[in-house]
Amino acid sequence: MAPSSVVVTIEKPNKFSLVEINGSDSTLLLEKQKAVSPKQFTWFLFLKANRVFACLSWLPMALKTMFLSVKKRIALSDVSEEEAKSRRLYRFIKVFLFISIFALVLEIFAHLKKWNLNMIQPWEVQGLFQWCYLTWLSFRVDYVAPLVLTMSKFCIVLFLIQSLDRLILCLGCFWIKYKNLKPRINGDAYDIEDGSSFPMVLVQIPMCNEREVFAQSIAAASQLDWPKDRILIQVLDDSDDGNLQLLIKDEVSLWREKGVNIIYRHRLIRTGYKAGNLKSAMACDYVKDYEFVAIFDADFQPNPDFLKQTVPHFKGDPELGLVQARWSFVNKDENLLTRLQNINLCFHFEVEQQVNGAFLNFFGFNGTAGVWRIKALEDSGGWLERTTVEDMDIAVRAHLNGWKFIFLNDVKVLCELPESYEAYKKQQHRWHSGPMQLFRLCLPAIVTSKISVSKKANLIFLFFLLRKLILPFYSFTLFCIILPLTMFIPEAELPLWVICYIPIFMSFLNILPALKSFPFLVPYLLFENTMSVTKFNAMISGLFQLGSAYEWVVTKKTGRSSESDLVALAERESKSLNEEKITRRHSESGLETLNKLKKQEEITPLKKRNRLYRKELVLAFLLLTAAARSLLSAHGVHFYFLLFQGLTFLVVGLDLIGEQIS
């Protein structure tokens, strides 16, 4: 019998196993140990398969839930005010859809019959239907195709011009990064020990029914690091809810008792929306004692050092009229809609605003998170109520009067993005109809102004026409009308570089300032094309002064910006001070107001629900119809683009993007 032996197996540097075997049994034992590995691998595969089946079982439940949600949404659907005011565009798209469906049925019939009408002579035609189809083909080639081809070439030229403009802006941004071109502060900083060396600053917070965020914005503004006797905060409340007015007054009183120089203003005659509110506040007698005014919307919360980062830029530069800061978003990762908005706005600030500010000293004022020299506002005519983009209006007039602007990309102010598609759509409608109103009103003043010819050309052709009119026009016309139309008119087919290569490249440029959003490149491209119908409709309504052009809807806030550390601390302090004040003043007005609000919410819950959007749904079916037609012609890229673009329109039309309300 063979002597016993010991086998030592070292698996890791600090770990070994001791196995005792006897002579000839060693080979059998090692073979047995080797046989364990396939068994473990089998269990590993079983575990993975179990997880896959769990996911597959979840998928039908998710689809069922989505189907029930869509079914309920359709049953409860109603026509929104915006849809009712834009029926012309909806009817046009609907007629176009019916014609496309009829053409698709005709093409499918001809395809099944295997008609090759290019090789059939007129006397070889059999039947009335085949004769009608041959007549349509002749008419299409001779009359329809040249017209569509001309339209497509015109839109392609506009598309290329706009793409070139965007490419130049990106190159300008790269140059700024490479050369480290940033606005510099001229002169010495203010003497911290001498408060009188600081200029007088007025802080304005216009708001209207901002129940979710008013306390946060007031708290953030009240904690701005500036000498108390050199700053005044105006809370400009246009709310029409009496209980909410009391709450805002109470919040202002809290900070006033804490030593903050803050006042509350409420207009009895609420005309002119935000412009009217700001105009009324600037008419106060004490405003003449102030040199600068900082403006923050109700959901914006500046850092305590905001004024110390912005106001010193005015020192030593008497021609500087505006210092604009960048926005940052607390809820950019809340849902797919906010992620896509973040891509757009990051490009707007990082590229458009920064490049225009660095090379032209002009850009559109963003309406908030900016500091104006009050003299620049007064020289430019002050706030006017003639459009829904009062911020762009005052910026253009100040530019015509020779004032310079600078943009601070490193100074960021926290705010929030619209989380529902309804709120985002209304915001975009206002942002794209207002510039066209303003262009009609400002064009004579631009032409007759004393600024240089190059600045006039920049204002008219780049600022207004190219970026505010041409962009929504070609986006909607080329990708939502002409592209599906060319599937039924193959003689006018769009080249691949128009529908694929250049759009993807431009989307890549757009996404560069927000590189973390790179996985959303394709959804961003599809969503931007989907939003073109809203932007086109808004542009037309503003240009021709249609009914919805002067509609102002306050963007719905959720109050998610309270997640920041600064505001959370301010809220805790505010709550403790509120309790102490109520006890000290022996007043229960605040408690009574809160109780009333709670009772109102219990008795009359908010009628908030997801909607259906008819224009988007009709366009979805139009694009899907065109995708089905492209299958007959074996168009690969065209088919996939139309398919995914149609599905994107369908998702947006069913309001499945953004906030979902159960």
Domains of the chain: 195-425 (3.90.550.10)
pLDDT above 50: residue 572: no
Q: Please state the three-class secondary structure of 188-230 as a single string.
A: CCCCCCCHHHCCCEEEEEEECCCCCCHHHHHHHHHCCCCCHHH
User: In DSSP terms, which residues pair with 19 in a beta bridge?
Assistant: 7
Which of the four pLDDT bands, split at 50, 70 and 90, describes residue 401?
very high
pLDDT for residue 563: 45
pLDDT above 50: residue 317: yes
Closest Cα partner for 264 from 250, 285, 278? 250
pLDDT for residue 77: 61
The mean pLDDT value for 469-485 works out to 94
Which of the four pLDDT bands, split at 50, 70 and 90, describes residue 586?
very low
**Which pTM value belongs to this model?**
0.82
Q: Is 649 helix (H, G, I), strand (E, B) or coil?
A: helix
Q: Clarify whether 25 is annotated catalytic.
A: no
Closest Cα partner for 251 from 240, 238, 241, 237? 237
Q: What are phi and psi of 406, to 5 degrees?
A: -130, 150
Q: Is 463 helix (H, G, I), strand (E, B) or coil?
A: helix
Which of the four pLDDT bands, split at 50, 70 and 90, describes residue 106?
confident
pLDDT for residue 82: 55
How confident is the model over 436-460, as pLDDT tens digits? 999 999 999 999 999 999 999 999 9
Closest Cα partner for 214 from 594, 590, 567, 659? 567
Catalytic residue, candidates 238, 250, 297, 655: 238
- Between 4-18, 65-79, 358-372, 492-506, the lowest mean confidence (pLDDT) is in 4-18
pLDDT above 70: residue 584: no
Catalytic residue, candidates 237, 299, 391, 393: 391
Q: Is 633 helix (H, G, I), strand (E, B) or coil?
A: coil
Residue type, 461: F
